[in-house]
Amino acid sequence: MNSKSMKSPITGACLVAAAIAALPSPTFADERMFTYSYEAVSVLPKGGWEFEQWITYRGDKGEGTFARWDLREEIEYGVTDRYTTALYLNFRDVHSDPGGGAESEDDFEFRGVSSEHKYQLLNPRTKPLGVLLYGEVTTEGSFLELEQKLVLQKFFGEDERWNAVFNAIVEEEWEYESSGTEEEMALEFTAGLSYKLNSNWAVGVEGRNHRVF
């Protein structure tokens, strides 16, 4: 795939001393300890299901105002104790006001459906290293997105107090237009380390390197 453009922002320690609160109930397999990084334990037990809502905000600090909200409604289901699948409905709300008397724009649109699949090869709670394979496909008719992840996880110390993760991620996107097909690829690496203070709280640090071609 030819590279049309490339940018390499590096976010280091993007989650410094972040406190993560969990409900005072038994720990579930899909408990998230990091913002960007997935964990090898993030699969549901067989027959378990869960609903999650994801909200992501993006803003521009340049001239005028720009605000974009990405909304995702997820239903996740544990097919087996190692294999979890999920279905997403994706929406996007954009407000743009360039200023200077120019007309502002507001747009709310449906951004397609996503099918997510996670398979746990090795459980870090029973093996020296946890390994998870992740795949996701998103489409709305005018575009197609594929995302693949290799997830590694390692617990250290008594009661799994130290938790280390590493993700290698490849994303590919095809935009279908009347003038032709536009292709884009992204390569991303994330890593995180957290420490469990007690059954309800943990602190951690996380880094992210994201490159777009």
| pLDDT tens digit at each of 213 positions of the chain | 443 434 344 444 343 333 333 333 344 445 788 989 999 999 999 999 999 999 999 887 667 788 999 999 999 999 999 999 999 999 999 998 877 777 888 999 999 999 999 999 999 999 999 999 999 999 988 999 999 999 999 999 878 999 999 999 999 999 988 888 899 999 999 999 999 999 889 999 999 999 998
CB burial of residue 213 (10 Å; 0-12, 13-18, 19+)? middle
From the candidate CATH numbers 2.40.128, 3.30.70, 2.60.40, 3.40.50, the one assigned to the domain spanning 10-212: 2.40.128
Contact (CB, 8 A) for 107 and 93: yes
Alpha-carbon distances, residue 32 vs 9, 62, 77, 204 (angstroms): 24, 33, 16, 12
CA 46, distance to chain mean position in Å, is 23
Residue 174 · residue 137 · CB < 8 Å: no
DSSP letter, residue 79? S
β 65-78/83-97 pair status: antiparallel
